[in-house]
A and B are shown apart, each in its own frame.
Chain A
Amino acid sequence: QVQLVQSGAEVKKPGASVKVSCKVSGYTLTELSMHWVRQAPGKGLEWMGGFDPEDGETIYAQKFQGRVTMTEDTSTDTAYMELSSLRSEDTAVYYCATRDYGDFSPFDYWGQGTLVTVSS
């Protein structure tokens, strides 16, 4: 059973960066494809990016290209998502979610979510 535990809530000023962590237990990071999904208040789910096992690279949604960086520390089985140049529209709950290496596989495990508030 995979468990994903995320870091705590953050409050940031516009223009700043935020880095959210996601600690994996039950499996190792190398056995999973880690992704990040966000949800603005009262809005739907939005895929931000994640590890594509087919070509071994991290891919990002066009909307976040250039502003987001997703990294992994396999020594601690912890994944990170850093979003820069924050604006008020980035206020959201950020989730990490994993999928297995199967073709077009679903997100079967989710973290508890991290609320990031961007406010001056």
Chain B
Amino acid sequence: SYVLTQPPSVSVAPGKTARITCGGNNIGSKSVHWYQQKPGQAPVLVIYYDSDRPSGIPERFSGSNSGNTATLTISRVEAGDEADYYCQVWDSSSDRGVFGTGTKVTVL
């Protein structure tokens, strides 16, 4: 089955840039979605189809996808961005959903 690997944690100072990677075999050929989850809350879609932003999501959130790595970038990080982030794809060989292992973003 298809596997998505994320770093367990990323730490960043306020105002700096956080980059969260999502590794998968030839992930560049797939559409990647990103979710933000704060403690005790349901996940929220922050990036879809690699780099599109839903309405209401700040422009500070952006995404890219190429080769074996997709990346979620959070610019000018704020305290409110502290959360767990998950990447997600559809495994076209099995028509099944796959989530990444998740990354906890800590704002220093």
- A binding-site residues for B, Cβ under 8 Å: 35, 37, 44-47, 50, 52, 54, 59, 61-62, 95, 97, 103-108, 110-113
Contact = CB atoms under 8 A, between A and B. Distances in A.
Interface string B42-75: 1111001100001000000000000000000000
B95 A110 contact: no
A108 B45 contact: yes
A38 B96 CA distance: 15
Nearest to A108: B45
Contacts of A54: 95
B102 to A, nearest CB: 4
Contact of B96 (A61, A106, A113): A61
B51 to A, nearest CB: 12
Contacts of B96: 47, 59, 61-62
A108 B96 CA distance: 17
Contact of A59 (B1, B88, B95, B98): B95
A107 B35 contact: yes
Contacts of A113: 42
Which DSSP category, helix, strand, loop or mixed, fits chain B's interface?
strand
A46 B43 CA distance: 12
Contacts of A47: 88, 96-99
A62 B1 contact: yes
A46 B88 CA distance: 10
A34 B84 CA distance: 23
B92 to A, nearest CB: 8
A113 B54 CA distance: 22
Contact of B54 (A95, A108, A110): A108
Contacts of B101: 44
B57 to A, nearest CB: 11
A107 B88 contact: yes
A100 to B, nearest CB: 11
